[in-house]
Structure 1
Amino acid sequence: MMKAVTELIAHIPRERVLLAEPMSQHTTFAVGGPADVLVLPHTVKEMSLAVRVARSYDIPVTVLGGGSNVLVLDGGIRGMVIQLNEMNRFLSCHATKILASSGFMLKDVCQYAQENGLAGMEFACGIPGTLGGAVFMNAGAYGGEMSHIVSRVRTVNRSGGVRTYETAEFGFGYRQSAFQKLQEYVVEVELQLQYGDKKEIQAMMDDLMDRRRSKQPLEMHSAGSTFKRPPGYFAGTLIDQTGLKGLAHGDAQVSTKHAGFVVNTGHATAADVLAVIHEVQRRVEAAHGVRLEPEVRILGEEKK
């Protein structure tokens, strides 16, 4: 590992190659043990280099965007974590298309679309996390999802090579994409939108954000929606009907505002969060015969 670190810091400033870095400081849940090495690249070239170095030393790689939609376990993540939220960013508009680097927060891309009179991604204005993470997970809300608007994707693969994908290759499904299966990392996204009225677009975004603020615990640490939507149901409704709002283990709790969210009310551990998730799964299945599956990606290993 130290040989890999030495090779990295020959090309990437030492302050962006961090050893034993607590992932609680780099995730929206604010929980998680240390990554053996955390690399914060600023360019696609630096990211590609980090992937190639890891591969040459047979070091496992985990790539994160803004750190939302993930639960890092208390034992941390072995190998190299590459987090993309410090990447140099570019954002441009060409007629009805937006080209953006993956490290932009999704809300900022939505606002940029509005400023350019482009409609179609209002649904995404309140989804936490980065553009790249949203594409990777095919994030969605309020009847829209990324699969409806993504037209081209540039990735870095497991060998450090760069590739461009077109629409037919995305493999989008419910919270799924081909990039998950291929273990390729989104670095640039093209969005296909349509012309709209700026005031109407802003009004829709404001309305959706008001709905989110009134119904979701946006003021608390979480990873977003904790469970996938089971066919024919809504996870939050099932949890609420089972009487589980406020269910807690340590400082992890089923939100009293929206039962579909597990939140960190103070100093929760990943073990606390998992205990709540497992208890929710057990009780909902017992009451309704429906097995809830986590939407959050669970990474790393439990504390020994």
Structure 2
Amino acid sequence: MEIKNVMIAGAGVLGSQIAWQVAFSGFNVVVYDAFEKGIKAGKDFHNNFARLFEEKGMATKKQIEETFSRLTYTTNLEEAVRNADLVSESIPEVEEIKKSFYSELSKIAPDKTIFTTNSSTMLPSMFAEYTGRPEKFLALHFANPVWEANIGEVMMHEKTDKKYFDIVLKFASDIGMIPIPIYKEQPGYVLNSLLVPLLKAARTLLFRGISDPYSIDKTWMISTGAKIGPFGIIDMVGMDTVYNIALRNGKINNDEESLKMAEYCKKNYIDKGKKGIKTGEGFYKYPNPAYQNPEFLSANKE
């Protein structure tokens, strides 16, 4: 099976990146979002990516024009999936929303279509029965930003047909990713199995009043040589995603501190419109966050 036409479900921070990368790599892409404001945000992201690619010499004007020519947008799910060989889902990290989405998608997608989820926190087996094609359903998980942290984690569940696992591994390679095969379901894949404990530890240090975001990020960046600290990463992921994860973990594990942490994120950041890069402010202000200032890591400097 050859992948030519791809539907991206969700035009948020990561969904828009995936759509751009797939279109840039030569595939026809339909970007679907349930809301017009989501489509508008996705188009704004793509205009920003075009400027970024040109400014950094990552693409010529012709390549950018060709990328835009391969991108279309719609709020009509049936229209979006009509010719799709593969779907990449990046809708909100809320279990019921995803179940509803796959239930609806299963009724209108062509038989050929492979479904993939980019969920960072939920396992494919949680939704397999709702897809109507468990053998053609698996995870294809991207890091942020897609073109720099270019890994594509491909994870099976027990009912995934190996044939489609191999097809998605090849697709990941074809769009410029380094394929990371994951043969058994693992919460957090490889990347988030390493990353989530870091972000949780950072949030805990802040929530308990141990230290402040800048100092925590400086500690990590100086000690490891990383280009970005945990709170900068949270801004990329999006505060609402972090909130949903903390809330879900709190409810599932009856973890009172996770629930309080979720409420802390909501009260101090989300309710104030500070959701991260996508709103222009989170722990840092964008487009020029303090951690990118050469003096950020200097002694006695912010």
Fold match (TM-score > 0.5): no
TM-score, normalization by structure 1: 0.29
Higher relative contact order (CA 8 A, sep 6+): 1
TM-score, scaled relative to structure 2: 0.29
Greater fraction of residues in strand: 1
Between Structure 1 and Structure 2, the one with more helix by share is 2
